[in-house]
Amino acid sequence: MAVDHAAAEVDHLAAERAAARFDVEAMKIAWAGSRHAVDVADRMARLVASDPVFRKDNRTMLSRKDLFKDTLRKAAHAWKRIVELRLTEEEASLLRQYVDQPGYVDLHWGMFVPAIKGQGTEEQQKKWLPLAYKFQIIGCYAQTELGHGSNVQGLETTATFDPMTDEFVIHSPTLTSSKWWPGGLGKASTHAVVYARLITEGKDYGIHGFIVQLRSLEDHSPLPGVTLGDIGGKFGSGAYNSMDNGVLRFDHVRIPRDQMLMRLSQVTREGKYVQSDVPKQLLYGTMVYVRQSIVADASKALSRAVCIAVRYSAIRKQFGSQDGGPETQVLNYRTQQSRLFPLLASAYAFRFVGDWLNWLYTDVTQKLEVKDYSTLQEAHACTAGLKAVTTSATADAIEECRKLCGGHGYLNSSGLPELFAVYVPACTYEGDNVVLLLQVARILMKTVSQLTSGKQPVGTMAYMGKVQHLMQSKCAVKTEAFEARALRMAVNCAQNIGQASNQEEGFYERSPDLLEAAVAHIQLIIVTKFIEKVHQDIPGHGVKEQLQNLCNVYALYTLHKHLGDFLATGSLTPKQGALANEQLGKLYAQVRPNAVALVDAFNYTDHYLGSVLGRYDGNVYPALYEEAWKDPLNETVVPEGYHEYLRPLLKQQLKLSRL
């Protein structure tokens, strides 16, 4: 049962809902993963929607200061509820999701705690995690600097070991070494995991993590030698401005030696650097964790936007009534369908690939615990690539949904401008998408180069082992065409790089093609995982059929959009390309009667959607009208400034016209 719309008097979308050819309740389970997941999400969504502290309809009208204070208030209230109701970790994390306001807690739970868990020794975890779990300290993840973000090895902050005092001296030697961007740093955090170059016995050992206290636990003032603040307003109103992204400089700040995160390497009391027998890439482990959770978030953001656009498109009518008949629902226009339904299919595709990625991440983590590092590269390639492809597609899709809602989509009350503004930095944070795709491309090139040596690729690269077959065959319009396209693009790149004077130069020259090869590889993964999902036993009347349909839409739409790649690599013939497009049109017709029910299956409350256009009851026009009157500009009939600026102008014009 959906949440705060139960009491709606009229369901303007009732006819749409009645037309659906599948069991929506069963689809909710397929989307959420289990009956239990639906129930917990429902309970948490209700809890948030019914609590006035979590109100967010006025957010875009708040000043930055008020918005920040509102975020602090919501975070404190959420924590109070979590403690009072003894919520489980699963429930608490859903509660935070439905509160739906970026804030320091995201970085505290999402990066600070995982960094200590992943890079701290058992002893360090015992010391710091209980403090973090009880919010006795608030932490952030201070990696990026003013001068370097993507190039982590280029960071300049130093941590120099002083054997005299058994301390590290943390220092910002240049302006560009100032930490810049960390969320929660600007105003809230008391501590940070700071990434700095470790220097001991006069040698620079590169980037390592350190736990550094930044503010007093008594009065929140910065500790001696620490300069910090907020980096300023960001894109959009409301949106990510609730987050205090910060700047931080150190002037020879001393921390005890045991605040270096020492699971991967240690510095002894004498100042000797000791490398553990684990791969040094584990330093990047927190980023791998966050990237997989960003993929899960992509389907949430995309499904929100699509839910708004589908419901509104079913309500909105334009044209077609010249002879007095009813106007056409814009959802019936073929163009609206061909723009919107692929996004609906993508929301489902990203949801399922996100689940799979979560499984992969859990599997890798378990292997790491028994010192099996064999799937580390696979985890890096999949998290980096899927993060890049799903966030770029989602950001574009939210903007497309805004356009699909016409003029009203541009109003803050549609929820779409803020959703876009909050979401779009996902293309940059946790690794710029281009930089991440180039990481995937490097791994692809490595895999191609190993094919001749007989080394069989594994995991998501396994298809490359079918090189003989895929390089020659003409493909049916199925997964095989995606495999052939991805492999041939990668092999073409490898051949072109091979002709350059050296590997690095070749990689640099061919990087635009490499990006496309990486995208092709990742799209193959998304299609494959969607197909695997629909091959599972999925209960509920018509549910499997709908998912099969959406899977076909996602695959054929991707094919249509990238037809140039498929044709250029000879993976498909032009005739097959045309047939695929033909088929796509037919699939849209099958989605149409189910579209509203397919977005209902996301089970979002009106509070979470935060959109007058996406209301469950479809009662859009009165809501739009009422919302307008709430704007602060409408508090007075005659605007402030009339007497200073409008009246004199109007009087002056009167004089001129009399001349």
Ligand X SMILES: Cc1cc2nc3c(=O)[nH]c(=O)nc-3n(C[C@H](O)[C@H](O)[C@H](O)COP(=O)(O)OP(=O)(O)OC[C@H]3O[C@@H](n4cnc5c(N)ncnc54)[C@H](O)[C@@H]3O)c2cc1C
- Residues known to be catalytic: 430
Nearest-approach distance from CB 469 to ligand ST9, in angstroms: 28
Tokens 């890798």 belong to residue: 364
Going by their DSSP bridges, the two strands 191-200 and 158-162 should be labelled as parallel
Q: Which of 100, 72, 219 is nearest to 80 (CA)?
A: 72
Cβ-contact 185, 245 below 8 angstroms: yes
Q: How many residues bind ligand ST9 (CB under 6 A)?
A: 28
Q: Does residue 109 belong to the site contacting ligand X (CB under 6 A)?
A: no
Q: Which element (helix H / strand E) includes 167? A: strand 167-171
Q: Does residue 246 belong to the site contacting ligand ST9 (CB under 6 A)?
A: no
**Cβ-proximal residues to 569 (8 Å cutoff; 6+ apart), any chain:** 484, 485, 488, 489, 492
Q: Which is nearer to ligand X, 297 or 483 (CB)?
A: 297
Nearest-approach distance from CB 276 to ligand X, in angstroms: 24
Nearest-approach distance from CB 411 to ligand X, in angstroms: 24
Per partner kind, with CB cut-offs from 5 to 8 A, the member of ligand ST9, ligand X, none near residue 434 is ligand X
Q: Which of 574, 118, 620, 641 is nearest to 405 (CA)?
A: 620
Q: Does residue 100 belong to the site contacting ligand ST9 (CB under 6 A)?
A: yes
Cβ-contact 196, 170 below 8 angstroms: yes
Q: Does residue 449 belong to the site contacting ligand ST9 (CB under 6 A)?
A: no
Kindly give the residue spans of alpha helices, DSSP state H, lying in 511-542. Answer: 511-534
Nearest-approach distance from CB 100 to ligand ST9, in angstroms: 5
Q: Which is nearer to ligand X, 396 or 627 (CB)?
A: 396
Q: Can you tell me which of 88, 150, 165, 652 binds ligand X, judged by CB under 6 A?
A: 150
Q: Can you tell me which of 31, 128, 181, 250 binds ligand X, judged by CB under 6 A?
A: 181
Going along 184-325, which residue ranges are E strands? Answer: 191-200, 203-213, 226-230, 246-250, 253-256, 265-267, 273-275, 317-318
Query: Which of positions 460-479 make contact with ligand ST9 (CB under 6 A)?
Result: none
Per partner kind, with CB cut-offs from 5 to 8 A, the member of ligand X, ligand ST9, none near residue 284 is ligand ST9
Query: Which of positions 189-248 make contact with ligand X (CB under 6 A)?
Result: 240, 245
Distance, CA of 147 to CA of 175 (rounded, Å): 8
Query: Which of positions 165-194 make contact with ligand ST9 (CB under 6 A)?
Result: 183
Nearest-approach distance from CB 132 to ligand X, in angstroms: 16
Q: Could you count the other beta carbons within 10 Å of the beta carbon of residue 289? A: 21
Q: Which is nearer to ligand ST9, 337 or 433 (CB)?
A: 433
Q: Residue with the closest Cβ to ligand X? A: 149
Helices 376-404 and 433-451 meet at what angle, rounded to 10?
A: 140
Which residues face 95 on adjacent strands?
none
Q: Does residue 138 belong to the site contacting ligand ST9 (CB under 6 A)?
A: no
Per partner kind, with CB cut-offs from 5 to 8 A, the member of ligand X, ligand ST9, none near residue 419 is ligand ST9
Q: Does residue 418 belong to the site contacting ligand ST9 (CB under 6 A)?
A: yes
Q: Does residue 430 belong to the site contacting ligand ST9 (CB under 6 A)?
A: yes
Per partner kind, with CB cut-offs from 5 to 8 A, the member of ligand X, ligand ST9, none near residue 82 is none
Six token digits for residue 302: 């995309």
Distance, CA of 379 to CA of 373 (rounded, Å): 10
Query: Which of positions 286-315 make contact with ligand ST9 (CB under 6 A)?
Result: 287-288
Binding residues for FAD: 144, 183
Cβ-contact 235, 425 below 8 angstroms: yes
CA dihedral sign of residues 129, 135, 136, 139: positive
Cβ-contact 68, 244 below 8 angstroms: yes
Binding residues: 144, 183
Q: Can you tell me which of 431, 577, 614, 618 binds ligand X, judged by CB under 6 A?
A: 431
- HSE at residue 539, side-chain half, CA atoms within 13 A, is 6
Residues binding ligand ST9 (CB under 6 A):
100-102, 106, 110, 141, 143-144, 149-153, 183, 281, 284, 287-288, 376, 380, 418-419, 422, 429-431, 435, 439
Residues binding ligand X (CB under 6 A):
107, 141-144, 148-150, 181-183, 240, 245, 425, 428-432, 434-435, 438
